Amino acid sequence: MIPTYNRSSLCKIAVESVLAQSYENLEVIVVDDGSTDDTEDVIANIPDSRIRYVRQVNAGVSAARNTGMMMANGEFIALLDSDDKWLPWKLEAQVQVFHAFPNAGMVWTDMVAVDENGRTLHESYIKIMYEAYKYFNREEHFQHKCSLRTVCKYVKNFDMEKNCYVGNIFPWMFMGNLVHTSTVLLRTERQRLVGGFDIALKKSGEDYDFHLRTCMAGDVAYMDVSSILYRVGAADQLTSDTYRIWMARNNLKTILSIYEKTGGEIGLSADKIRERFAQAYVWVGRTELFENQNAARFYLQKSRSWGGKDKKIPLYYMLSFLPKRAICMIRDGKHWLDAVRRKTGRSA
């Protein structure tokens, strides 16, 4: 299922990567979220009867994904953003993981990061992109481990030397997102149990809420291989700087909601839960510096009330009393300095 908005050329590449899968028993559902470009014509000109195109009034990526999942007919549902691309063996390997582990409701993988010209930046990017991996040790926190050679023995052009991990990792997902959406394959049964993406989580960060609820519902699996090409650095991505404040806000909303639903029974120590909330509040406070300084102070104080130990909290608090223009100038200067340091090879 591919949601898209004004990305006709990239969406075509994404669709073709699905059609090129070695696992051929599939349908491609393209949900056009009110594009104003030539997306409809581009998709209509791809000669394959497995493609289903639906257009809706612009309502955001969560609504588009929900539309696609409701239309799905198969035993499994795969999610693919329109600027990413699957490797040809992805679905076949993931389906075999499901056959080997019938209790797993979701399987995801690592990813290759590429720039806008398709040049490889990182062969293994998931730990770089998602900071929550600093808390997560797949060797310790999954309950089962096996070689992909034993699970995916008939898959061609595939790294058999890596491993597959299976188990219930809900407590560690509470510490932060571990799952990249375009790498995911879901059992339809699990998706129906979990429901859809929360359309109230606007702009960015809705994927964490969905994947956290999916992990809360039972076992999941991770394949330690990169199954997609993930495009980084584009201005229209929901992970760009423009959307960071929404990521921070929705991250906090997500864990507050889950904490309430579970009555605080997360499966983590009280210290870890306090650390998680302190980190979430300081993230919102830091991003609110550029939007609402009063709100920034509130969230920074909340972080301290949860035992926040971030040494920069006093600095952020002092900055919140400066004019917004001055704060933005400091931020832009830091970005410039970081860029210079990266180019010259000096550490930040």
Whether 193 and 134 share a structural domain? yes
Q: What is the pLDDT of residues 258-268, one digit of tens each?
A: 999 999 999 99
Does residue 264 lie in a domain region?
no
Q: What is the pLDDT of residues 280-292, one digit of tens each?
A: 999 999 999 988 9
Cβ neighbours of residue 260 under 8 Å, at least 6 residues apart?
Answer: none
Whether 204 and 56 share a structural domain? yes
DSSP string, 185-226: EEEHHHHHHH----TTS-SS-HHHHHHHHHHHTS-EEEEEEE
pLDDT band at 239 (very low <50, low <70, confident <90, very high): very low
Q: What is the pLDDT of residues 16-26, one digit of tens each?
A: 999 999 999 99
pLDDT at 225 over 90: yes
Whether 214 and 285 share a structural domain? no
Contact status, residue 22 vs residue 158, Cβ threshold 8 Å: no
Q: What is the dihedral of CA 200, 205, 210, 216, to 10 degrees?
A: -120
Choose among 93, 49, 95, 46: nearest CA to 75. Answer: 95
pLDDT at 31 over 70: yes
- Predicted pLDDT of residue 178: 98
pTM to 2 decimal places: 0.92
Whether 73 and 176 share a structural domain? yes
Helices (H) and strands (E) in the chain, counts: 15, 11
Does residue 235 lie in a domain region?
yes
Residue of higher predicted confidence among 52 and 203: 52
CA angle, residues 186, 189, 190, in degrees to nearest 5: 55
Whether 95 and 227 share a structural domain? yes
- Number of structural domains the chain divides into: 2
Does residue 258 lie in a domain region?
no
CA angle, residues 80, 119, 8, in degrees to nearest 5: 40
56 lies in which domain range? 2-241
Does residue 280 lie in a domain region?
yes
Does residue 92 lie in a domain region?
yes
Does residue 261 lie in a domain region?
no
**Percent of the chain whose pLDDT exceeds 70:** 94
Residue of higher predicted confidence among 44 and 117: 44
pLDDT at 95 over 80: yes
Whether 137 and 63 share a structural domain? yes
Secondary structure (3-state) at 110: strand
Whether 125 and 167 share a structural domain? yes
> Over 156-183, what HEC string results?
CCCCCCCEEEEECCHHHHCCCCCCCHHH
Q: How far is CA 255 from CA 142, 210, 273, in A?
A: 21, 12, 10
Whether 277 and 220 share a structural domain? no
Indicate the average pLDDT of the chain.
Answer: 93
Whether 180 and 275 share a structural domain? no
Does residue 262 lie in a domain region?
no
- Predicted pLDDT of residue 236: 53
CATH of the domain at 183: 3.90.550.10
Does residue 254 lie in a domain region?
no
Residue 284 CA to chain centroid, in angstroms? 19
**Percent of the chain whose pLDDT exceeds 90:** 84
Whether 210 and 310 share a structural domain? no
As a whole number, mean pLDDT of residues 204-208 equals 93
Whether 237 and 273 share a structural domain? no
Whether 198 and 329 share a structural domain? no
- Predicted pLDDT of residue 235: 53
pLDDT at 347 over 80: no
Choose one of 241, 260, 289: the last residue of a domain: 241
